[in-house]
Every structure is written in structure tokens, then in C-alpha cells.
Amino acid sequence: LIGSYGEDKKMPVYVVGGFVRDLLLGLENYDIDIVVEGNGLEFAKYASKQLGAKMVEHEKFLTASLFFKDGFRIDIATARTEYYEKPADLPQVDISTIKKDLYRRDFTINAMAIKLNTKEFGLLYDFFDSRKDLKEGLIRVLHKLSFVEDPTRIIRAVRFEQRFGFKIEEETLRILHETLNGGFLEKVSGQRIRQELEKILGEREPLNAIKRLAQLKILKHIFPKTYFTSVMEKKLENLFNNLRIIRELYKKVNIFYSLLRILLEYYDIDTLKQVIKKYGIPKKFIDEIKATETRLPPLLNMIKYKIRFSDIYKVIGKPSAETAAHIMSYIDEEDSKEYFVEYLKRVFSTKLSISGNYLKEKMNVKNSVEIGKVMNELYCRKLDNPSINEEGELKKIL
Ligand code: ATP
């Protein structure tokens, strides 16, 4: 349909990028990126009207997104400049604008387009031997300055390499290292680095990509004080393996924070302050890191020896999802892990039916500090033994 709208508006329309790559690889991809030679916004308005989709415009970038009721989304962009085969030649309007648009992209495998207009529907535009690289499993930049132009492509290269089990092509790898040594990655804003790292965390096997970032010494240019060791690798492995359990217990877990807590371990306060500022992380993150650092060794022993839940509670209370994930990343033995998960489940399910007011009115305890203490003690007893009679237990405490 999009193609026929291209006919209506007399504009060449293409599907580009990841969708084409995945189509040729036989993989599913529901992110559709459309490029229009002509006014992409005008085209998007027309298409959204015809299809009854909601449209959000990003006027500055001449792009728009169409949102459909079933959650499906299409991004529409304008192919930006015209392309001249030779200076003073007439602009190659039809093919060359899409060529120029594709040339701006990160890697050859992401730089193909398929025409959607009815007459040429399905025609593949492969200007840079992308199909060959796709067949040979190579991640290759389109030109020498690609990484300098946008150093986040260094992280993207690793992500795609690991996702598809490809290899970064030799010359590309050379340029990648040259760019790294030139200090270009350090110039990128924390927000953009964070975005790319979060994309890695969204991959099916994030650890492989993180290991490769370390192996290629890219990680050193992101977190200069991190020494990636096999111990750190084991913790990350645990972290990723435990995510499913953590997600069952907590609605939300910020994996980026969890990753940082492992990568930034043993950082001094000043460096931590710089890091949280760069990546836009709340201040309390540092407190949490520091608090777990001191409590962790005794806590791990308590878990190992299956000490009462109430004693564990006195050390960590009800931990945040990230703290729980962090603690679990240190636990290698299966039964210790089970014990800690049991603890978390117990903390989530234990609620007192007696309130502070009951103590005040029925038991004549007036001092609020005292009330707090008694309630806490009662809660701890219930953690150890969920079947206690609260009123009876309260009398024992008082
Ligand atoms: P994924 O399957 O992870 O969504 P994708 O290839 O669709 O992969 P996106 O990050 O969604 O990746 O980007 C969409 C397209 O935009 C890419 O295929 C690529 O052509 C282009 N692109 C994205 N980021 C960059 C960048 N930093 N530099 C150049 N081109 C980029």
C-alpha cells in the first residue's frame, strides 16, 4: 500500500536499513523504516490519512512516525540531499538521492533499500556490495571517516557483529582502533553512549557483546577505570541469567544500572560522581553502591549459611530490583540462590494485619519510636514464621 501511495504522490518510496538486512537473512523484523525521495512529511501525512494511523511528526529531521492500533509502527524519513555523479553533472534525482541517504548509514549490511512503488516493487538497491558482506558475515563501514563522524558506531559494530555471529572486517577494525586511539569515543555524550549500551542489553546474548567490547579495548574508552576480569565476567553472566527471576519479582528493573554496578565496582567516590553526571543517573545510585559494598560480604555468608530471614532483613530490608540483582550476581551456588529468592518472595508476601494504630489504641503504646520498634519486631517474627498469631505474638513482645 505504501508503494501505491508513492505512485499517488509521484514520489519514489523505499524500505531501508535493518528491515532489508533481516529480510535477506530470513529474520523477522517489525521495525519498518521508509525513505521517501521528496517531501517525507507530506508523504507521511497522506499515508496516515489513507491508513487511519496516528502520526507524530519530527519536523526538524523531516521525519514522521505512523502508529497503528495493533502496536505496529512505521518510520518515514526524507532522503536528504541530491547526489551528483560528477561535479556539474545533472543531479541523479531518482537513484542518487537514495544512494546518498544510504551512504550516510553505519555499515554496508544496513545500507540497502527496496523500492516499494508499484512499478518497481521489490527492486533491491545494493550500491555498496552489501549482499556480499551479508553472505560473508562482515561488518564494514562505508567510508574511512565513518567512526570519526559518529563514534557510537564503534559500539554498534560490536552489537551487530555479536548478534549475527559476524566479524568486523579487517580494514574496518583498523579504522575502529585508529578512531579509538584518537580519543573520539570520549567526546560522545553520556546519553548517546548509554543508548547504545542499552541496545546491547536488549540483545539476546548481551554478555558476548560486552566481552567483545572489553577484548577490543573499547570498554576502556567508556569506563577507563574498569578492569574486565573473569570474575567480573562471571558476575555479569549471573546477572543476565537471573534477570528472568528478578523480572518475575519486580515489575521493573533497570539493567543499565545493574550493569554499571558491576562495572563500576571499587570506583572511588569522585570518579563515581563524574560517571553518574555523564550518564544522567540519580545521586542515590552512589549511596546504594557504597551501602551494598560494605554489607555484601557478611550478607553473602548469611545467605550461604541460610541464616534466618529476619536477620537478613535487618541487613538489607526490602532491596530494590537492582540491589537484588546485584546481590544475586555474586551467588554461584544454586541452593544459596534459591534461598535468597525465597527470602525476596517472603519479604514481598509478608504483610502485617495489625497496624500502628492498634498498638496505640488497644495496647496503650503511645511513643511513636516505640511503636516503630515493636511493629518491626513483629514483622521480623512473621518473616521467619508466616503462620504466627499476630495478637498473641504482640503480647509476647510487649
Ligand atoms: P535493530 O534490529 O537493532 O533495530 P537496526 O539496524 O534497525 O537494528 P536501528 O538502531 O534501529 O538499527 O537503526 C535503523 C537504521 O538506521 C540502521 O539500519 C542504520 O542504517 C541506520 N542507523 C542507525 N544508527 C545509525 C548511526 N549511528 N549511524 C549511521 N546509521 C545509523
Which atom of ligand 1 is found nearest the CA of 153? Answer: 27
Output the residue whose Cα is nearest ligand 1's atom 4: 18
pTM, whole model, 2 decimals?
A: 0.87
Is the CB–ligand 1 distance for residue 196 below 6 Å? no
Is the CB–ligand 1 distance for residue 96 below 6 Å? no
Position 284 pLDDT exceeds 60: yes
- 16 C-alpha to center of ligand 1: Å? 10
Residue 390, SS3? helix
Which atom of ligand 1 is found nearest the CA of 111? Answer: 20
The pLDDT of 361-368, averaged and rounded, is: 76
The pLDDT of 342-366, averaged and rounded, is: 85
Q: What is the spatial distance between Cα 115 and Cα 1, in angstroms, rounded to a whole number?
A: 12
- 233 C-alpha to center of ligand 1: Å? 28
Would you say how long the chain is, in residues? 398
83: pLDDT confidence band, cut at 50, 70 and 90? very low
CB atoms within 10 A of CB 393: 16
**Contacts from 118-124 at CB under 8 Å and sequence distance 24+?**
118/3, 118/4, 118/6, 118/7, 119/7, 121/3, 124/20
- Tens of pLDDT, residues 191-240: 999 999 999 999 999 999 999 999 999 999 999 989 999 999 999 999 99
- 34 C-alpha to center of ligand 1: Å? 12
- 103 C-alpha to center of ligand 1: Å? 13
Is the CB–ligand 1 distance for residue 338 below 6 Å? no
Residue 196 CB partners (closer than 8 Å, separation 6+): 152, 155, 156, 159
Give the residue among 60, 61, 32 at the shortest CA–CA distance from 47. Answer: 32
Is the CB–ligand 1 distance for residue 100 below 6 Å? no
pLDDT attached to residue 372: 87
**Contacts from 353-356 at CB under 8 Å and sequence distance 24+?**
353/390, 354/378, 354/390, 354/391, 354/394
Output the residue whose Cα is nearest ligand 1's atom 1: 18
- Tens of pLDDT, residues 245-264: 999 999 888 999 999 999 99
Share of the chain above pLDDT 70, in %: 96
pLDDT attached to residue 213: 97
81: pLDDT confidence band, cut at 50, 70 and 90? low
Residue 389 CB partners (closer than 8 Å, separation 6+): none
Comparing 362 with 269, which gets the higher pLDDT?
269
Residue 141, SS3? strand
Q: What is the spatial distance between Cα 96 and Cα 81, in angstroms, rounded to a whole number?
A: 9
ipTM: 0.94
Judged on CB neighbours under 10 Å (0-12, 13-18, 19+), 381 is middle
The pLDDT of 91-113, averaged and rounded, is: 80
Is the CB–ligand 1 distance for residue 238 below 6 Å? no
- Tens of pLDDT, residues 7-16: 888 889 999 9
Is the CB–ligand 1 distance for residue 151 below 6 Å? no
Give ∠ CA 182-187-158 in degrees, rounded to 5: 70
Is the CB–ligand 1 distance for residue 31 below 6 Å? yes
Average pLDDT over all residues of the chain: 89
